[in-house]
Structure 1
């Protein structure tokens, strides 16, 4: 009996060593086949354009094709769920956005947990929003808006437009209201285009929107920019102050792109993807593409992106809780 146990123990040890050796060899040879990059938004949009530019350069470094697969719907939850449930082998990667940090708190019923099921690989970019108003509005500065928001007359409320509940414009404004202790009234639209149309038409005085789509309207005199949402001024509009500079202490909110893999993906594979992604965003071609959609290249380490992602999840969870925002 003792001899049998000894044989079983030795056999188990040999199998364990063999399995570990095979796994290590597979990781060392990664990637051996094409990689799938899943994008949660339709082809042709900013996320898709950026993803394809990054994928092209990453594939050159990894020496394998990276196939972009669009799975739009449910604010990118379909794509995120697909990657969260994929094998943790580095062959299915998510092109994530700020939505991933928001959706866990915004949606009460998800089939995956963004924080527990997905592991950050690299933050690719960061893009500020602009706080803009109709030029005919009484708000000439952030100070004017703060004054009106603190002394809000219920018979004449301060309205702001957004692309809908849980949209960037909605949550960025709610963060502003929370940080500056303002009373603002939300007017949700079915998309950014109709929201911006009513701000341009003067039906609603203000909104937040992506800098790349909004800055040309500011430069044409159709909108007045009050501030950028990022902690630092934007290279695209260096003359526009930050909200922090304008008296909203600590305000910092940006839209971003980043890569994620299923939790449990081996560290050497994460490191290989991180290096390829970091190199890609630093190329002139990808940097130009990112700036073309209003984003500044980042290319962070996996550890730094993990820290940033955790802070994003916590920040937007607090905003969503305070504003009582919910999407079923």
Structure 2
């Protein structure tokens, strides 16, 4: 009887609710601080918005959510670290689209399709290409013309090798018969410092560039969504420029393989409420991001379908690892 009363107090629920094993299991998470690994450096759009989400989860659960930035390797390090973590829900990771390209670009001992517990889809990015405000590349037409006249000399930066900005730019270059000079960085913050410091001619990034465009330091040549961004109505989409490409690079949260389905549902429910809070929605809006929710089943299906599409792209770009 004493143990029953204790569980009721901890869960904040009625005896009837605690009578079901599923809710009993849910009440056990989190039992300790949760580590949330982010695939990009501190200070960039992903880090800033994910920290708001982490704070919301902490408030909802009464446990700390410790943000652990793991930049590099095209955003795949958190997913790789999940392979070493116990499936108890206390180690979670952001899963960028680059994770689904990993088996096709390097030899790994695990499979993103089966070795991650997909918990919830959260959002995606708004991408574009920017140049310094004083650049002679005034429009995308100038960009393409200069690149064709100077093969291999137009330098552009991205947030890392095999990230969505990198592969989309290579896709664009292949379609337009351009030879570009790609320079990878570990994240948006480093990339913006480089282009503002005159080290690059262009940058392909999510809208971490927005403040610098608004301040007049950078010029936006195009965006990569289905429609123009409301914040930058003068910047054409790739589709408007004759390129049949839309790239939002959706991401969400994953956990280690083998998580209990009841635990997966508990985390999904907590995170879904946390991401729908006004402060998180507002944080996303600052970077032209919108909620793109997917439940565990939908996110798992998305992961497997995306892997199939990314394999086709990697093959077409000639980036497949040797068999």
Q: Could you tell me the TM-score, scaled by structure 2's length?
A: 0.74
Specify every segment of 5 or more residues in structure 2 that has no aligned partner in the other structure, as ranges: 1-18
Stretches of structure 1 lacking an aligned partner (at least 5 in a row): 1-20
1:182 aligns with: 177
Map 1:72-111 → 2, pairs under 5 A:
72=70, 74-75=72-73, 76-106=75-105, 108-111=106-109
Matched, 1:229 2:227: no
Larger radius of gyration: 1
Residue 57 of structure 2 corresponds to 58
Per-residue CA deviation, residues 270-299 of structure 1 (Å, 9 max, x unaligned), is: 222222222111111112233345533333
Q: Is the 8 A contact 2:132 2:195 kept in 1?
A: yes
Pair 256,268 (structure 1): closer, same or farther in 2 beyond 3 Å: same
1:277 counterpart (267, 271, 274): 271
Q: How many residues align?
A: 300
Does the aligned pair in 2 maintain the 1:161–1:169 contact within 8 Å? Answer: no
Query: Taking structure 1 as the reference length, what is the TM-score of the superposition?
Result: 0.73
Contact kept? 2:30, 2:63, Cα under 8 Å? no
Query: Does structure 1 conserve the Cα–Cα contact (< 8 Å) formed by 2:101 and 2:310?
Result: yes
2:237 pairs, out of 214, 217, 242, with: 242
Q: How does 1:1-328 map to 2 (within 5 A)?
A: 27-31=25-29, 33-34=31-32, 36-40=34-38, 41-61=40-60, 63-70=61-68, 72=70, 74-75=72-73, 76-106=75-105, 108-134=106-132, 139-143=137-141, 145=143, 152-153=148-149, 156=151, 159-163=154-158, 165-178=161-174, 180-190=175-185, 205-212=201-208, 214-249=209-244, 251-292=245-286, 295-325=289-319
Shift of 1:172: 2.2
3-state SS of the aligned residue for 1:110? Answer: coil
Give distance in 2, aligned partners of 1:60 and 1:136.
Answer: 46
User: C-alpha offsets along residues 125-167 of structure 1, whole Å, 9 cap, x if unaligned?
Assistant: 2111112234565655445555666xx34x6556241245334
Q: Secondary structure at the match of 1:254?
A: coil
Per-residue deviation, 1:168: 4.3
Rounded to whole Å, the distance in 2 between the matches of 1:193 and 1:55 is 20
CA distance 1:59–1:117, shift in 2 (3 Å): same
Deviation string 1:4-28 (CA, Å, 9 cap, x unpaired) is xxxxxxxxxxxxxxxxx99757535
Deviation at 1:71, TM superposition (A): 5.6
Q: Distance in 2 between matches of 1:187 and 1:32?
A: 43
